[in-house]
Amino acid sequence: MDFELTDEQKMLSETVTRYIAETYEFSKREHALRGDEGWSREAYAGLAEMGLLGLPFAEEDGGFGGGGVEMMLIMEAIGRGLMVEPYFATVVLAGGVLRHGASAAQRAGIVPGLVAGEHILALAHDEAGIARHTLAVRTTARETGGGWTLDGAKIAVIHGQSADTLIVSATTGQGLGLFLVDARAEGVSIEGARGYDGVPVASVRLSGMTVGADALIGTAGDGEAILDKVFDEARAALAAEAVGAMAETFDITVDYLKTRQQFGVAIGSFQALQHRAVDMLMQLELSRSMAVLAALSLGGEVDQRRRNIAAAKAQIGKSGRIVGQEAVQMHGAIGITAEYKVGHAFKRLTAIDALLGDRDHHLARLAAMGGVYAAA
């Protein structure tokens, strides 16, 4: 693939990568994880000041109209910094639902605050006992008195505890619906927790919770089509984040091989470790190529988009495990300590593999579709 960034895209990549490297050192991440919310509002405000929160939204909504490539560049920088702030949850996942399904009035009520970093949004979709990469839910929405009554429970809501507004998926008489829900409204209870990668997640319960008719995004049966597209965009974003995390892990490991001494010489002089470092680099570059393919596929034909993104997610799952394992093994015990960045990166790569379908799931999808390319 002949892929060349434009001058504007190169500037975006360099600016964001440098900004995160200079302002979000690993100690700041550790401090954020120890906080009540598990992330830093100061760091998130910095992303807002740079205009990054508004990048994928249309100009008429107060955004910049960026596409898949621009999102890839930002997510790769976020992956390098191992940022735990709610960019993925608010801008990519929930923000994607707004962009693809919400009315102009709904967007006008939320997007300005979201772009300013003042309004946190979270998508509440996953449920216990249901695979997290499917569109199936048990939560129900019943039409009552000109509005809707929601009942059900959601798990693993990324940044759900900090959310001002939840987007809740529920079954209706016409299919899957998506609803805007005030996170502090009566009938909503939220219990926060942390994922094994440190990212805040929450369990959400809705008990006879009522919303107005204007809370429905699109029509009652639009949920599946909206989430299908949003989930593919999110998978492409996760692929880019994983590339950033792998690149940072590789750089840290190579620096360690150059400085750690054994038998009076740097261990990087040992041929066996050089070969393993090359294996890491090969997996990183394979992943980078697939992340580019995923980003470029977002605006293309639906069937090929699904095939390309499934292939990218499968490659990311394989490469993330190889890069993480090799880094930990070559570092030794320090590689898995809480005080060292490599172990945190490996955990995040493991979480990325599991999010929205792991490697095995996407290989099965590709097999069912007949491979990456449709038969002629």
Query: How confident is the model over 226-247, as pLDDT tens digits?
Result: 999 999 999 999 999 999 999 9
Q: Which two tokens stand for residue 224?
A: 């599946």
DSSP line for 297-362 = HTTS-HHHHHHHHHHHHHHHHHHHHHHHHHHHHHHGGGGGSTTSHHHHHHHHHHHHHHTTS-HHHH
Arch. (CATH architecture) of 122-220: Beta Barrel (2.40)
Distance (Å, rounded) from C-alpha 19 to C-alpha 28?
14
Mean pLDDT of the 268-292 span: 96
DSSP line for 223-265 = HHHHHHHHHHHHHHHHHHHHHHHHHHHHHHHHHHHHH-EETTE
**Where, residue-wise, is CATH 2.40.110.10 in the chain?**
122-220
| Phi, psi angles (nearest 5°) of residue 138 | -105, -20
Mean pLDDT of the 43-69 span: 95
**Where, residue-wise, is CATH 1.10.540.10 in the chain?**
7-120
Considering the domain 7-120 in this protein, what is its CATH number?
A: 1.10.540.10
Picking from 91, 277, 325, 82, the residue whose alpha carbon sits closest to that of residue 198 is 82
Confidence of residue 4 (pLDDT cuts 50, 70, 90): confident
Residue 3: the pLDDT is: 78
- Does 196 score more than 70 pLDDT? yes
Q: Are 292 and 3 in contact (CB under 8 A)?
A: yes
What is the fold of 224-369?
Butyryl-CoA Dehydrogenase, subunit A; domain 3 (1.20.140)
What percent of the chain is modeled with pLDDT above 90?
92
**Where, residue-wise, is CATH 1.20.140.10 in the chain?**
224-369
pTM of the model: 0.96
Mean pLDDT of the 200-211 span: 97
Alpha helices in 271-301 (DSSP H): 271-297
DSSP line for 139-160 = -EEEEETTEEEEEEEEEEEETG
Q: Are 116 and 236 in contact (CB under 8 A)?
A: no
pLDDT in tens, 145-166: 889 999 999 999 999 999 999 9
Q: Which two tokens stand for residue 240?
A: 């880019």
What is the amino acid identity at position 99?
A: R
- Does 2 score more than 70 pLDDT? no
pLDDT in tens, 176-186: 999 999 999 99
First to last CA, the chain: 21
β-partners of residue 147 are 144, 212
Question: Is residue 208 packed enough to be buried (19+ CB in 10 Å), middle (13-18) or exposed (0-12)?
Answer: exposed
